[in-house]
A and B are shown apart, each in its own frame.
Chain A
Amino acid sequence: MFENLSLLTLQEYWWILVSLLAAILVFLMFVQGGQTLLYTLGKDESERKMLVNTLGRKWEFTFTTLVTFGGAFFASFPLFYSTSFGGAYWVWMAILFSFVIQAIAYEYRTKPNNFLGQRTYETFLFINGALGTILIGTAVATFFTGSGFKVDKMNLTDIISDKLPVISTWEGPAHGLEAVLNFQNVALGLAVFFLARVLGILYFMNTIDSKAIFARSKKHLLYNTIPFLVFFLFFVIRLLFIDGFTVDPTTKVVSMEAFKYLHNLMAMPIVLILFLIGVVLVLFGILKSILKESTNGIWFAGLGTVITVFALFMLAGFNHTSYYPSTADLQSSLTIENSSSSHFTLTAMSYVSLLVPFVLAYIFYAWRAINNKKIDAAEMEGDSHTY
């Protein structure tokens, strides 16, 4: 089946899968957003316990999606893995540190004799929630604005000079941290941060049986929606006006094109429609929750997030666009064509991808089994597993 597809089709298929994983990851970062609101929405230990526990039943999905996103990107576009991770060392390391401290924070937070104290573990959760979302958003923004790197496969054959024979090298000493100097990058980071908080709030409204938390959530939903919209609109509007990195389909030469991403939207109306549907769904989910006593806004806003982020990744990688452009050397820019795995590997991995619907099905089933009843204070006092 897959073996009969062309290499380009497989590359496109895998870009779609990686984009979908990234989109689901951004939705699941409601966990991170929620972690930054423990003391804003929880006014006493009992309330905070409910907040932590409702997130604690889902944090592993986010974590696992991040790990799978990394693995899938490695398997399908190894030159990205090699270039971005090896180059933007500090950005990725900071992101990883923030996830390491998250992974133990839930389990250890209220355990007796936990060495670092409850507040430290809650601080870990906050750091993960803030740093993780902002840096991931900032890193993704470089898919549009570019980074300073060079790729030269000839370096592999350099056994004479005094340098390591490294193919992908980063310009400048900041190893990725320079991305924060570009406000457009930071704007996406902050948009993701506030979106994660919005989603976190909507998730709390959906899963916690507490009037006080619900009322506070509603208030803070508005407070977080405003900065989210400001930063998101700034990023998107600017994106439509900046020069983008276009690839000549015949010569594969990369050059700058004015209004490239606007052109991409026009050239791919389906992406434009998806993008608009996504944004409308996010706004609908938020407004529904602000204006009514609704608890299911998370599903609209969540689905909207997935669709919007997916559309953004389509803009970055399709229609002869470099998805990981280099500002140091245009011709080093990565495209889905020049950075992918071989036909054989993409084919083999495509068969593995057939497992995904099955995985989604059992996640859905287990999610319902655990979330079929809202969390309440009584459950937190009972003999159940609590964080």
Chain B
Amino acid sequence: MIQHLDLSSVDWSRGQFALTAIYHWIFVPLTLGLAFIVAIMESIYVKTGNPEWKKITKFWMTLFGINFAIGVATGIILEFEFGTNWSNYSWFVGDIFGAPLAIEGIMAFFLESTFVAVMFFGWNKTSKKFHLTATWLTAIGANLSALWILVANAWMQYPVGMRFNPDTARNEMMNFWSVLFSPIAITKFLHTVTSAYALAAIFVIGVSAWLLLKKRESSFAKKSMLVAGVFGLLSIIFVIWNGDRSAYQIAQKQPMKLAAMENLYEGKKPSGMVVIGITTTDKKYNDTKNDFIVKIEIPKLLSFLSFRRVDAYVPGVKDLIEGNNEYGIISAKEKIERGKVAINTLKEYKEAKKANDTAKTKLLAMKFDENTTVGQEFLNNNFRYFGYGYLNSPDQLIPNIPFTFYSFRIMVGLGFYFLVFFILVVIFTYKNKIENKKGFLWLAIITIPLAYLASEAGWIVAEIGRQPWAIQNLLPNIAAASRIDATSVQITFFLFLVLFTALLIAELKILTRQIKLGPKDGGTK
């Protein structure tokens, strides 16, 4: 049994990763989206030659720069944390996971960092067209970096394109394109970046609304709103369409996450979807309490969204833990046993090899070889549950259900609200009536924090919902961590908390001051 102190260090490492990722994700969506919005604005400037568009571009570029710096600052930690806090992970899947990180550096970061310098400093040093190209390349670079890191993240949720090598005791890449073009990766990338575009659009609209309320820069604000409104509307339509696809994939590949997202304890056929509800907080998967204190449910909807059939069976937490013979679901206990067999087989193999027992080594090696019958059987019946072998009890497999459930509803609910919001922005701006809609302008300002809330909620659904896995089914976080004492991680956790909070306050203060200064006076770029 793993000692309490060791587990505490794993929990602190999880906390630290969550903290740094949450902070990083405060800044990244705005960078991803605002980069394109600024590029569109500058394109209009270059095309029309109208200096007002240059003023618009420069103002938003100033805000982009302030936000970009802190995004860079908070991002470097994440890359290295895979090594510092998750050293076993770095070896066990480094052969696959390291590649996207390296490509991100070579392909995306240099593009972004080279041309962001031209974007800021090149106004009077380069031609208009070269400057515009630099602005677009900055946006493309930022989004390419999102592609590679999300490919890496998607691979953790749905590992593909590799095989386990017992000699090196790690997973090794067999097909690069399977990793890159995994359907989960494509969906994750598109869903994430388009949600970032929507957030950036809301930011631009909210800030412009404030200027209109202050009766400043009317033309500037309305033009900004129109660009952001159209950009945001197209983005949110895509987010919603793609979000459905994402949830469908979760149903196929991560049924426990789906059950957590839906607070679904008992599997049902057909299964309705709870639009809104209050969960029973002390509910256990094996007690008889109701899942919800109160709920509003649409019949059959969850079955349809999850499996595209209105009468489909959707498994609940209890089915996934205790098993369900009728639907061919293996119990968690059984998976844990099978996983332990897989780990012990690896141990036997290593021992046989160390003892130079050639016959036994050869025999055991066949179990890890998919080209042999015994290998297919072992890989399918045991190795696919390798990670379960590190767990001691089935309830370790259940993520924080209320947290996942509410986060999912916040994300989806706000997503639909943003759709309506963008439609209204486009209509009001197009009809040139937005200036008079005081209430709506206030709503636009309030919508800014809601966009951040939705964005973070999406991250929570994706990451909390898949616990305890670092790599789905292959490596739980307790087997992925480094062996560091909990105190060290606690110290760095609080250092990050203090530092990032101070930097966030600094960013907010600088941003708000720049907004108050407005494009005419404060646009220093």
- A137-145, A150-158, A260-268: which lies at the interface: A150-158
- List the B side residues contacting A72 at CB < 8 Å: 102, 105-106
- List the B side residues contacting A356 at CB < 8 Å: 106
Against B, the Cβ 8 Å flags (1 = close, 0 = not) of A168-194 are: 111001010000000000000000000
Are B69 and A107 in contact, CB atoms less than 8 angstroms apart? yes
- Sort chain A's interface into a size bin: 35 or more
Are A104 and B503 in contact, CB atoms less than 8 angstroms apart? yes
Known pairs A75-B101, A89-B488, A168-B87; list 9 more (Cβ under 8 Å).
Answer: A57-B121, A60-B113, A72-B102, A74-B94, A113-B510, A166-B482, A384-B124, A384-B525, A385-B123
Give the distance in Å from the alpha carbon of A68 to the alpha carbon of B172 in the complex: 21
Judge whether B390 is part of the interface by a CB distance below 8 angstroms. yes
Across the interface, name the chain B residue whose C-beta is closest to A91.
Answer: B84
Judge whether B66 is part of the interface by a CB distance below 8 angstroms. yes
Judge whether B1 is part of the interface by a CB distance below 8 angstroms. yes
Give the distance in Å from the alpha carbon of A384 to the alpha carbon of B524 in the complex: 7
Judge whether B478 is part of the interface by a CB distance below 8 angstroms. yes
Are B113 and A61 in contact, CB atoms less than 8 angstroms apart? yes
- List the A side residues contacting B122 at CB < 8 Å: 369-370
Give the dominant DSSP class at A's interface. helix
- List the B side residues contacting A87 at CB < 8 Å: 87, 482
Q: Which of A92, A101, A115, A153 contacts B73 (CB 8 A)?
A: A101
Are A108 and B66 in contact, CB atoms less than 8 angstroms apart? yes
Judge whether A9 is part of the interface by a CB distance below 8 angstroms. no
CB distance from B26 to the nearest CB of A (A): 13
CB distance from A346 to the nearest CB of B (A): 9
| Contact A74-B98, Cβ < 8 Å, known A115-B502, A163-B3, A370-B121 | yes
What is the total of A-B residue contacts with beta carbons within 8 Å?
Answer: 303
Residues of B within 8 A of A (CB): 1-3, 6, 9-10, 65-66, 68-70, 72-74, 76-77, 79-80, 82-92, 94-99, 101-107, 109-118, 120-126, 130, 134, 165, 168-170, 172-174, 176, 340, 343-344, 346-347, 350-351, 389-390, 478-479, 481-485, 488, 492, 495, 499, 502-503, 505-507, 509-510, 512-514, 517, 524-525
- List the A side residues contacting B77 at CB < 8 Å: 96, 100
- List the B side residues contacting A107 at CB < 8 Å: 65-66, 68-69
Are B83 and A74 in contact, CB atoms less than 8 angstroms apart? yes
- List the B side residues contacting A355 at CB < 8 Å: 106-107
Are B99 and A97 in contact, CB atoms less than 8 angstroms apart? no
Query: Can you report 21 residue pairs joining A to B where beta carbons are below 8 Å apart?
Result: A61-B113, A63-B72, A70-B79, A75-B98, A81-B91, A84-B83, A85-B84, A86-B482, A97-B495, A104-B507, A112-B517, A114-B506, A114-B509, A115-B502, A153-B169, A156-B479, A341-B94, A345-B172, A356-B106, A369-B122, A373-B125
Judge whether A147 is part of the interface by a CB distance below 8 angstroms. no
- List the B side residues contacting A106 at CB < 8 Å: 69
| Contact A164-B10, Cβ < 8 Å, known A64-B113, A71-B105 | yes
Across the interface, name the chain A residue whose C-beta is closest to B74.
Answer: A100
Across the interface, name the chain B residue whose C-beta is closest to A386.
Answer: B524
Give the distance in Å from the alpha carbon of A226 to the alpha carbon of B373 in the complex: 69
Against B, the Cβ 8 Å flags (1 = close, 0 = not) of A121-154 are: 0000000000000000000000000000000011
Give the distance in Å from the alpha carbon of A292 to the alpha carbon of B153 in the complex: 54
Give the distance in Å from the alpha carbon of A157 to the alpha carbon of B342 in the complex: 9
